[in-house]
C-alpha cells in the first residue's frame, strides 16, 4: 500500500487517538485547577494534623512516577474488591486515567499556588484589612487576584507538560494518539510495519502546544494591566 | 469554619485512599511468584477467596471481556472495519454465544495481562498466548489449541551466516518484554533487550538497533518476507516448539467450560473451518 493510500487511514486513526488525548487534557485541567487550591488550603491549614497529612500526600504524589500511580489506580481496586470498579472497556480506562492525572497535577498546582500566594507582599493583605475587608474578601479580591497573575508562567509550563504526559496513559492501554500510531507498527487495518504514523504523532503534540503557548501568552499579557 | 469542615472531609477521603495504597504492596506477595508452586495450592487459595464462581460472575454480568493485543491472524481488524476478527476472535465470539453472553474485546498492554485478569478488567486472555511455565503458574489455562515456535529473525542478506544457535550467540537481540521469545533468549544466553511488543522487536532489526529478534513463527509467517511489511527480513533458527492456549483467572471454572467447547467445536469441524479461513490450519491441535 502506498503512502497516499495509507495516509487517510492513518490520519483518521490518529485523529481518534488525539481526541482521547485532548479529552484527557481538558478533564485533567478542569479537575486539577480547583482541586489544587483545595489541597493548598489543606496543606497550609492551621489545623496541624491536616496540614501534615496533606504535605505527606503531596510528597507521595510528587515523589512517585505518574506511570506507577496510573497502574496502582487502575489495577489495585479490582484486586482488593474482586470487582472491576472502573467500568468496562475504554471508558473505564479513561476514568481511571483521569483520576490519576487530576490528583497528580493538583498536587503540583497546589505548590505553584503556594508560591504565588506567598509571593504577594504582606502589605497587600494589611492594606485590605485597613480598608475593613473581611478575611474572605481579602483573599478573593486582593491575594487571589494577584496570585493568578503571578502563577501564569509556571502554570504554562505545567500545562504544556500535561499535553505530553497524557501519553503515559498508554500503560493502562488507554488508546491515545501514540497508541494509535504504534498500532500501525504491529499491524492494524491492513497496514503493518509502518513507523511513520508514530513519528507523525509528534505533529499533533507540536500543534497542541503551539496553540497553548499562544493562548497562555495572550492570557499573561491580558493580566499585566496592573503591576505591583 | 465551613472551609475547615470541608477540608476535614477531603482529608478523610484521602486517608481511605492511602489505606488502599498501603494494602497494595502486600497483594503481590500473596500471589505465588514461584512457578514451582503446585497447581493444587493455587487452586485452594483461590477457591477460599472467591465466593461466586468465575462462570457465574461472567453469566451475571452478561458479558465476557476478552483481552487482546491486535495480533494478526489471531485478533485483528480488517481495513476500514471496526470489528475484531481472526482465529481467536472468531472462536471467542462462538464461545460467548455458547455461554449465552455478549463478547467484548479490549486491547491490553501484554506485560500487564496477569494484572488485568486479577483486577477483573478482563475475563480471559485469548490472543495467541504461548503456554509458558509463568503463564501456567499465574493463570488457569485451557488445553493447547495451536502449535507455534519461537524463531530468530535477521536481515535477509545476513541470514546465511546464522543457521544455528551457536552462530546467533554474537548477535544482539530485541525481544518482547514478558514474551516466550524473551524466555528463549535468556535460556540460550543471548544478549537481549526487552522492548514493548513483537512489532517493536522487528522494528529494532530494520532500524539496525538490534541484529535480530525472536518472535512467534505464526506471526513471522504473516509479517515478514517477500510481499509483506518487512521484506528485508527473514527467519532462520527455530528455537523451540510450543503451544497456544487461552488464559483465565486462577481457579476459574470457565477453563473447563472452554475445554468442553473446544472439544465440541472440533468434533463438529467448526474449529478446523475457522483455522483454514485464517491460514493457521496446519498449526491447529486436535481437541
C-alpha separations of B17 from A76, A109, A147, B116 in Å? 11, 20, 30, 21
**110-149 in A: which are within 8 Å (CB) of B?**
none
Strands B76-77 and B84-85: antiparallel
Angstrom distance (rounded) from CA A46 to CA B15: 19
Q: Shortest CB distance from B21 goes to which of A72, A86, A185?
A: A72
Angstrom distance (rounded) from CA A69 to CA A73: 6
A171 neighbors A96 (Cβ within 8 angstroms) = no
What CATH number is associated with residue A57? 1.10.3720.10
Q: Give the residue-averaged pLDDT of B66-72.
A: 89
Under the banding of pLDDT at 50, 70 and 90, the label for residue B79 is: confident
Cα A12 to the chain's mean position, in Å? 25
pLDDT, tens digit, 9 for 90 and up, residues B146-172: 999 999 999 988 888 898 899 899 999
Counting other chains too, the contacts that A215-219 makes at CB distance below 8 Å and 24 or more residues apart are: A216/A152, A216/A155, A216/A156, A216/A159, A216/A160, A217/A156, A219/A152
Domain boundaries, chain B: 39-147+243-283, 150-240
Q: Shortest CB distance from B120 goes to which of A60, A82, A187?
A: A82
pLDDT, tens digit, 9 for 90 and up, residues A194-207: 889 999 999 999 99
Give A126 to chain B, closest Cα distance, Å: 22
Give yes or no for B112 touching A (CB within 8 A).
yes
Under the banding of pLDDT at 50, 70 and 90, the label for residue A70 is: very high
Q: Virtual CA dihedral for B23, B26, B31, B36, nearest 10 degrees?
A: 180
pTM of the model: 0.79
Q: Residue B29 corresponds to which cell in the numbers above? A: 506477595
**134-153 in B: which are within 8 Å (CB) of A?**
none
Cα B59 to the chain's mean position, in Å? 23
Q: Which one of B199, B202, B222, B226 makes the best mutation probe of the A interface by having the most chain A beta carbons within 10 Å? A: B199
Q: Residue A155 corresponds to which cell in the numbers above? A: 502554570
* pLDDT exceeds cutoff 90 at A78: no
Q: Which one of B229, B250, B251, B278 makes the best mutation probe of the A interface by having the most chain A beta carbons within 10 Å? A: B229
Helices (H), A44-141: 48-63, 66-81, 89-118, 122-130, 135-137
Choices 3.40.250.10, 3.90.1150.10, 3.40.120.10, 3.40.190.10: CATH for B39-147+243-283? 3.40.190.10
pLDDT, tens digit, 9 for 90 and up, residues A26-48: 999 999 999 999 999 999 999 99
B132 neighbors B180 (Cβ within 8 angstroms) = yes
Per the structure, the complete domain to which residue A107 belongs is given by 3-225
Give A200 to chain B, closest Cα distance, Å: 16
What is the count of residue pairs from A and B with beta carbons less than 8 Å apart?
Answer: 135
Angstrom distance (rounded) from CA B41 to CA B79: 46
* pLDDT exceeds cutoff 80 at B48: no
Q: Shortest CB distance from B78 goes to which of A89, A171, A190?
A: A190
- The CATH superfamily label for domain B150-240 reads Periplasmic binding protein-like II (3.40.190.10)
Residues of chain A positioned with their CB less than 8 A from the CB of B83: none
H or E element in which residue B192 lies:
strand B191-195
ipTM above 0.90, yes or no: no
Give yes or no for B158 touching A (CB within 8 A).
no
| Nearest alpha carbon to residue B115 among A172, A175, A183 | A172
Tell me the Ramachandran region of residue B102: left when phi exceeds 0, alpha when psi lies from -120 to 50, beta otherwise: beta
**31-70 in B: which are within 8 Å (CB) of A?**
49-50, 63, 65, 69-70
Residues of chain B positioned with their CB less than 8 A from the CB of A196: none
Phi, psi of A85, rounded to the nearest 5 degrees = -90, -10
Under the banding of pLDDT at 50, 70 and 90, the label for residue A79 is: confident
Number of domains making up chain A:
1
Average pLDDT taken over every residue of chain B: 83
Angstrom distance (rounded) from CA B274 to CA B286: 14
Amino acid at each position: 500500500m502506498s503512502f497516499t493510500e495509507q495516509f487517510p487511514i492513518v490520519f483518521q486513526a490518529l485523529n481518534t487517538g488525539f481526541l482521547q488525548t485532548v479529552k484527557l487534557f481538558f478533564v485533567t485541567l478542569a479537575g486539577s485547577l480547583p482541586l489544587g487550591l483545595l489541597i493548598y488550603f489543606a496543606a497550609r491549614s492551621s489545623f496541624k494534623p491536616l496540614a501534615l497529612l496533606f504535605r505527606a500526600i503531596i510528597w507521595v504524589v510528587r515523589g512517585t512516577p505518574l506511570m506507577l500511580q496510573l497502574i496502582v489506580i487502575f489495577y489495585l481496586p479490582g484486586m482488593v474488591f474482586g470487582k472491576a470498579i472502573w467500568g468496562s472497556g475504554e471508558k473505564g480506562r479513561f476514568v481511571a486515567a483521569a483520576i490519576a492525572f487530576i490528583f497528580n497535577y493538583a498536587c503540583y498546582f497546589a505548590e505553584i499556588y503556594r508560591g504565588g500566594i506567598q509571593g504577594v507582599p504582606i502589605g497587600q493583605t494589611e492594606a485590605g484589612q485597613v480598608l475593613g475587608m473581611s478575611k474572605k474578601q481579602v483573599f478573593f479580591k486582593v491575594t487571589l487576584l494577584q496570585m493568578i497573575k503571578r502563577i501564569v508562567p509556571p502554570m504554562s509550563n505545567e500545562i504544556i507538560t500535561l499535553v505530553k504526559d497524557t501519553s503515559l496513559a498508554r500503560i493502562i492501554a488507554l488508546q491515545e494518539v501514540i497508541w494509535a500510531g504504534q498500532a500501525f507498527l504491529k499491524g492494524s487495518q491492513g497496514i503493518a510495519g509502518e513507523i511513520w504514523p508514530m513519528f507523525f504523532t509528534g505533529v499533533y503534540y507540536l500543534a497542541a502546544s503551539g496553540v497553548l503557548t499562544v493562548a497562555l501568552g495572550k492570557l499573561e499579557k491580558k493580566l499585566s494591566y496592573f503591576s505591583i | 469554619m465551613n472551609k475547615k469542615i470541608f477540608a476535614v472531609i477531603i482529608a478523610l477521603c484521602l486517608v481511605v485512599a492511602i489505606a488502599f495504597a498501603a494494602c497494595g504492596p502486600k497483594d503481590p506477595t500473596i500471589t505465588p511468584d514461584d512457578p514451582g508452586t503446585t497447581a493444587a495450592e493455587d487452586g485452594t487459595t483461590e477457591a477460599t477467596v472467591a465466593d461466586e464462581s468465575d462462570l457465574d460472575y461472567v453469566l451475571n454480568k452478561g458479558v465476557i471481556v476478552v483481552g487482546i493485543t491486535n495480533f494478526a491472524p489471531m485478533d485483528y481488524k480488517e481495513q476500514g472495519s471496526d470489528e475484531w476478527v481472526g482465529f481467536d476472535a472468531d472462536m471467542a465470539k462462538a464461545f460467548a454465544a455458547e455461554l449465552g453472553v455478549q463478547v467484548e474485546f479490549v486491547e491490553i498492554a501484554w506485560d500487564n495481562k496477569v494484572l488485568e485478569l486479577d483486577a477483573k478488567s478482563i475475563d480471559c486472555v485469548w490472543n495467541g498466548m504461548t503456554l509458558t511455565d509463568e503463564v501456567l503458574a499465574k493463570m488457569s489455562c485451557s488445553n493447547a489449541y495451536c502449535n507455534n515456535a519461537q524463531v530468530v529473525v535477521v536481515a535477509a542478506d545476513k541470514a546465511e551466516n546464522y543457521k544455528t544457535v551457536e552462530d546467533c550467540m554474537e548477535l544482539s537481540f530485541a525481544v518482547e518484554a514478558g514474551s516466550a521469545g524473551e524466555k528463549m533468549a535468556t535460556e540460550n544466553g543471548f544478549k537481549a533487550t526487552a522492548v514493548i511488543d513483537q512489532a517493536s522487536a522487528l522494528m529494532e532489526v530494520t532500524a539496525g538497533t538490534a541484529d535480530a529478534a525472536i518472535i512467534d513463527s505464526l506471526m513471522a509467517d504473516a509479517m515478514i518476507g517477500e510481499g509483506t511489511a518487512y521484506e528485508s527480513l527473514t527467519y532462520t533458527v527455530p528455537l523451540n516448539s510450543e503451544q497456544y492456549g487461552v488464559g483465565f483467572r486462577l481457579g476459574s471454572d470457565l477453563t473447563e467450560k472452554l475445554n468442553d467447547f473446544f472439544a465440541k467445536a472440533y468434533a463438529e469441524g467448526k474449529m478446523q473451518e475457522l483455522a483454514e479461513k485464517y491460514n493457521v490450519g496446519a498449526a491447529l491441535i486436535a481437541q
